[in-house]
A and B are shown apart, each in its own frame.
Chain A
Amino acid sequence: MAGPSMMETLFQRTLEDLIKGMRLQLIGESAFISKAVEEIRREIKSTDLHTKSIALQKLTYLNSLHDVDMSWAAFHAVECMSSSRFADKRIGYVAASQSFNESTPVLLLITNQLRKDLTSVNEHEASLALECLAKIGTVDLARDLTPEVFTLLSSSKVFVRKKSIGVTMRVFEKYPDAVRVCFKRLVENLESSDPQSLSATVGVFCELAAKDPLSYLPLAPEFYRILVDSKNNWVLIKVLKIFARLAPLEPRLAKKVTEPICEHMRRTGAKSLMFECVRTVVGSLSEYESAVKLAVVKIRELLLEDDPNLKYLGLHALSIVAPKHSWAVLENKEVVIKSLSDEDANIKLESLRLVMAMVSESNIIEISRVLVHYALKSDPEFCNEILGSILSTCSRNFYEIVMDFDWYVSLLGEMSRTPHCQKSEEIEFQLIDVGMRVRDARPELVRLARSLLIDPALLGNPFLHRILSAAAWVSGEYVEFSLNPFELAEALIQPRASLLPTSIRVVYLQSVFKILIFCVNSYLSQTETLADLEPEVPDSISQRENSEASDLASVRALFEREHDEAFNPGVLDRPSTDNSIEDIGNAADGDGQTSTFVSFRKNGFTRESIVNLVNLVEVAMRPLSVSLEVEMLERTCNILGLIEVLKRELPAVFQNEKVLEKEELEVLKLIKLMNDAFSEELGPVSTSAQERVPIPDGLVLKDNLADLDEVMGDVKLPSSSSFSLESPYNGQRMDPASCNVQSKEDSEASSESTSLLAEHRKRHGLYYLPSEGNGTISNDYPPANDLKSGDTNQDDTEDFVKLTAQSLVSKKKPNYAKPRPVVVKLDEGESVPVVLKKRDSRDDLLSGAVRDILLGDDAVKLSSSIKGKEKVNADPLDSKENMHDMENSSHRKSSSRRSKQRPHRKERGQTNPEKLGVEKEEHGGKVKSKSSHRHGRQKSRQKAEGSSDIIAETPVIPDFLL
């Protein structure tokens, strides 16, 4: 047996050989590694511990740097750990701390080994065990090894002591009850003369205080002493961190520490300490004006350094101070703006945050202008950062800081035209959101939508598709503000729109539908006055159409048939639709310019323009009616159906201008109905709208929704039948009769659906935010824009600006932020319990234990009742644990009993002091060396406890400092 083992040992490759081999290998790294692992698998089974440990070491190396799995070798690691040779033991420990985790099964086997090594006389073995425990400590290990760690905490060997201090953090975290055993000794180490132990202890408290600062307030005097006395920067930085967490909890403490911190800030040469002082002051002591001033001076020093690290930190500190002291940012404005063009992305980002922190109602326009301009020049990534931060800043709190929405809308337009813009989703959302919330911004929105939609170049950029979808929606929804709906419709059906994905095309189609309805309705509603208007028409329309219009006015009825022939070639190829168009071939554009541009005036929905529009839309829709996308198909068919009805009915309308007859026509009712439905305002719906619906008295809500299918079946049935598109080919089929029937059905169905929608709105008004004012704004044009032709955009803009300026002056805040206080409150209410739930019960246990040690029960009064409840829930965990730590068991029982009583505050009042006394005696007996200082402190603590028994709700923090 010794033979092969010996051979193995002799010819085994060491770690060094492995590394060398790896560097010289010719077979490829992965092949080499798998070969090496093969070898290791063989060697590790060796009975010779040395061979085994070398194999394990190699495996550890491969795991650490080359991702080789080593979980299978867990047991071998345990074997090596138990070796008596230090070298093997160390390899075993390293392997264990690297590969073990909570679920490693052999973890149960190492408890005794760890205990043995922790109590070993050899300090190096103890230190190995401590390092390992710090890394892989589980609940069980922490619980079982607490006594050993406790012993080591007062070890005479500094080397071991400081490691055991480091380990306590892990132990506390895993097993909060260890606090009751170890805490006193840990605190004693705060007075240690050895700088390393002190440093380690402060480090532990720094971590502990990060989780629950309140529990460590009573230790403030110790920390204060260290803050004043210590010369060690490592320690000072940690102590400052602790104070940064404690100071916000206790104003007296904050007042006390401000001066020493400023002193350090002035005196120290170490940038790290100086920065920590600055951060503490700006983060936690920001109400002390003089301290903040000094900190800002120091920040300025950092900002002016050449070192990018210091510059970054300076900006970072500024961003902490910015919310409370914006003057600090303004003072350093130039540096911040200059940093925007720094080559370091981090610095740029910080300065961008700062610039956004400077934003206010008065300068938002200026800053945004500068930033958007800057975004054009910067790299894509940062460009999007800029756009994103502008968008989020401006939309914050329902566009709180935006006073001029016309400006904001145009800014959105400018942003969407920025190359590299990838914020289309956000811009899309905001375009629609602004449209819904801000009535005054709608004209400008429509104008923006127009300029985006008519630009064919934009369709080619997939990043802009979402924005275009919003623009299309806006143009359809608020078409009444448009100067030229025909132009919009044309833009929406332009051939390049086929580049859009279906989901967005669908929005386009729906908008075309809306625009069509709007135009026809507008035309019909003014036909009664048409006769009066006719003479005026020539004066106000543009020159190009001038002659045509006048022609039309006079010879409309006569030349219908003739012009039909002339019309057909003018339009793009329409293979199969001629016959259906014939009926309304009165589209009397003799020049054949129909499809290019139709000028439009306020009251100028002329007949021929409507007809042109209808034809144009039909031409564009025909190819789509064979689309494979259901959604698109459906909407196309809706539009075609409408057109069909129009063509059937409209000639009659055009001929008989008498009002009486008109009302009898079905199509008029239809159009009117649809227009009403579309002009009904869509408002923003609160996210919690559903919750606000009170449950009716008679309604019993079932938990089991098994019969939901049944209910849904009822709902589905009618809808599917009414919207059925039995023949998706109806566009292709030449049978006009069936076409008509189909379209009639369609239109009826859609009218039915819209009426249903209106009904729904009426019934459930509370789902929808109140729409102020009139629902139909179709004729509600601002008089300023009356009789103005489409090409005078500039004047319009000015008018808009004036308009909004007036509204700004008069109302100060226009009705943009529709007050939704309930929503906001509800949302806040929701978030609070989530935060509470997030708190780990273990953390609570830990802090609870710490408080017990430091304060007795007083601290508990501060903790909320929720925490108390959680404690009760967690108590089974306490009782489950076997009471192994001998002397402590009685003490712990009493404490767990106390924790159970915690929620019942009143019962406790009487019994407390006695129990505390008991506890203290126990501790007094245990802890041998106790300085007089500590005694003094305890007395004062007892005093504090006594007083707080009387005044229940006074702050717990005794006056150690004051």
Chain B
Amino acid sequence: MIHFVLIINRQRKLRLTKWYSPYSQKERTKVIREISELMLRRHHKMCNFFEWGGLKVVYRRYTGLFFCMCIDPDDNELETQEVIHQYVRILDRYFGKVCELDLIYDFHKAYFILDELVIAGELQESNRRTVVRRIFAQVSLSLDIHISHSLVDAAKEEGPGSVDGITIPFKIIIYLKLQN
């Protein structure tokens, strides 16, 4: 199972943390420090796994951001890499060309997306479309407006951030505002 997920940038700034195993606040700080130390030291030509405290850390680097997941030693490293990639692709789809700023300003959304992807340290949804649809639906719920699935689907069909760089959530909001 996945014990925790960290997103750290090259300057060691934390961008996201998610813990699936119980770690106290003190342990969390220590873990983050150790992992970032080990991870950032690694050359890009090195392999993307390393052993840490009896567990295994799998990371992937996307420009300046390191996405890292800590797994059990007998878990499949390549599969975990795939999970990371899946997550990034969903982020990409949702934000439309995701960049670090998206994660900074829409921290909570990145968080929700991860929740849809992984539950209790296990991958729960491998279908990107489904995850994105869920998130849209929740966004609509947060706006206290009910959007039918067909609407979301219609918006989604146009693809991520397709028109003039306006991402889908905005489009829905604009659409809804026009409706009102």
Interchain nearest-CB distance for A152 vs B (Å): 13
Residues of A within 8 A of B138 (CB): 86, 90, 124
The answer on a CB contact under 8 Å between B123 and A134 is: no
The answer on a CB contact under 8 Å between A166 and B120 is: yes
Residues of B within 8 A of A57 (CB): 108
Which B residue sits closest to A64, measured CB to CB? B17
Asked if A664 lies at the interface with its beta carbon under 8 angstroms from chain B, I say no
The answer on a CB contact under 8 Å between A67 and B29 is: yes
The answer on a CB contact under 8 Å between A344 and B22 is: no
The answer on a CB contact under 8 Å between B49 and A169 is: no
- Cβ contact of A308, chosen from B29, B47, B111, B122, cutoff 8 A: B47
The answer on a CB contact under 8 Å between A162 and B124 is: yes
State in angstroms the CA–CA spacing of A203 and B118 once bound together: 11
Asked if B98 lies at the interface with its beta carbon under 8 angstroms from chain A, I say no
Asked if B104 lies at the interface with its beta carbon under 8 angstroms from chain A, I say yes
State in angstroms the CA–CA spacing of A475 and B27 once bound together: 48
Of the listed stretches A268-276, A566-574, A753-761, A945-953, name the one at the interface; the rest are far from the partner chain. Answer: A268-276
State in angstroms the CA–CA spacing of A343 and B20 once bound together: 33
Asked if A6 lies at the interface with its beta carbon under 8 angstroms from chain B, I say no
Per-residue CB contact flags for chain B residues 62-82 toward chain A (1 = under 8 Å, else 0) read 000000000010101111011
The answer on a CB contact under 8 Å between B47 and A347 is: yes
Which A residue sits closest to B111, measured CB to CB? A94
State in angstroms the CA–CA spacing of A170 and B51 once bound together: 26
Per-residue CB contact flags for chain B residues 117-136 toward chain A (1 = under 8 Å, else 0) read 00110111111001000100
Asked if B14 lies at the interface with its beta carbon under 8 angstroms from chain A, I say yes
The answer on a CB contact under 8 Å between A346 and B141 is: no
Chain A residues 1 to 37 lying within 8 A of chain B, measured CB to CB, are 15-16, 19-20, 23
The answer on a CB contact under 8 Å between A272 and B76 is: yes
Number of A-B residue pairs, CB cutoff 8 Å, is 141
Asked if B105 lies at the interface with its beta carbon under 8 angstroms from chain A, I say yes
Interchain nearest-CB distance for B40 vs A (Å): 14
User: Which size bracket describes the interface of B in this complex?
Assistant: 35 or more
Asked if A961 lies at the interface with its beta carbon under 8 angstroms from chain B, I say no
Per-residue CB contact flags for chain B residues 142-174 toward chain A (1 = under 8 Å, else 0) read 111000000000000000000000000000000
Q: Which of B20, B119, B122, B137 has the most CB of A within 10 A?
A: B119
The answer on a CB contact under 8 Å between A272 and B82 is: yes
Which A residue sits closest to B50, measured CB to CB? A346
State in angstroms the CA–CA spacing of A163 and B138 once bound together: 16
The answer on a CB contact under 8 Å between B79 and A234 is: yes
The answer on a CB contact under 8 Å between A131 and B115 is: yes
Interchain nearest-CB distance for A590 vs B (Å): 66
Q: Which of A90, A241, A309, A347 has the most CB of B within 10 A?
A: A309
Asked if A313 lies at the interface with its beta carbon under 8 angstroms from chain B, I say yes
- Cβ contact of A275, chosen from B20, B76, B105, cutoff 8 A: B76
Interchain nearest-CB distance for A730 vs B (Å): 55
Asked if A299 lies at the interface with its beta carbon under 8 angstroms from chain B, I say no
State in angstroms the CA–CA spacing of A232 and B138 once bound together: 28
The answer on a CB contact under 8 Å between B46 and A196 is: no
Per-residue CB contact flags for chain B residues 13-56 toward chain A (1 = under 8 Å, else 0) read 01111011010110011000000000000110111111100000
Asked if B88 lies at the interface with its beta carbon under 8 angstroms from chain A, I say no
Residues of A within 8 A of B107 (CB): 15, 19, 61, 64-65
Given A237-B76, A309-B78, decide whether A16 and B47 contact each other with a Cβ distance below 8 A.
no
Chain A residues 135 to 189 lying within 8 A of chain B, measured CB to CB, are 135, 159, 162-163, 166-167, 169-170
State in angstroms the CA–CA spacing of A94 and B81 once bound together: 25
The answer on a CB contact under 8 Å between A346 and B29 is: no
State in angstroms the CA–CA spacing of A102 and B142 once bound together: 30
- Cβ contact of B47, chosen from A87, A163, A275, A311, cutoff 8 A: A311
State in angstroms the CA–CA spacing of A245 and B34 once bound together: 32
Per-residue CB contact flags for chain A residues 58-99 toward chain B (1 = under 8 Å, else 0) read 000100111101000000000000000111001000100010
Asked if B1 lies at the interface with its beta carbon under 8 angstroms from chain A, I say yes
Which B residue sits closest to A166, measured CB to CB? B119
Interchain nearest-CB distance for A315 vs B (Å): 10
State in angstroms the CA–CA spacing of A203 and B83 once bound together: 14
Given A65-B17, A135-B20, decide whether A344 and B45 contact each other with a Cβ distance below 8 A.
yes
Known pairs A66-B14, A345-B46; list 9 more (Cβ under 8 Å): A20-B105, A64-B107, A69-B25, A98-B19, A131-B115, A162-B125, A275-B76, A309-B77, A312-B49
* Closest 5 pairs between A and B when the two form their complex, measured CB to CB: A272-B78, A308-B47, A87-B142, A344-B46, A166-B119
17 pairs, CB–CB < 8 Å, chain A vs chain B: A20-B105, A65-B15, A67-B25, A86-B141, A122-B141, A131-B119, A162-B124, A166-B120, A167-B120, A196-B130, A200-B122, A200-B124, A272-B78, A275-B78, A308-B46, A313-B77, A347-B46
Which B residues fall within an 8 A CB radius of A?
1, 14-17, 19-20, 22, 24-25, 28-29, 42-43, 45-51, 72, 74, 76-79, 81-82, 104-105, 107-108, 111-112, 115, 119-120, 122-127, 130, 134, 137-138, 141-144
Which A residues fall within an 8 A CB radius of B?
15-16, 19-20, 23, 57, 61, 64-67, 69, 85-87, 90, 94, 98, 101-102, 122, 124, 130-131, 134-135, 159, 162-163, 166-167, 169-170, 195-196, 199-200, 203-204, 207, 210, 232, 234, 237, 241, 271-272, 275-276, 279, 307-309, 311-313, 343-347
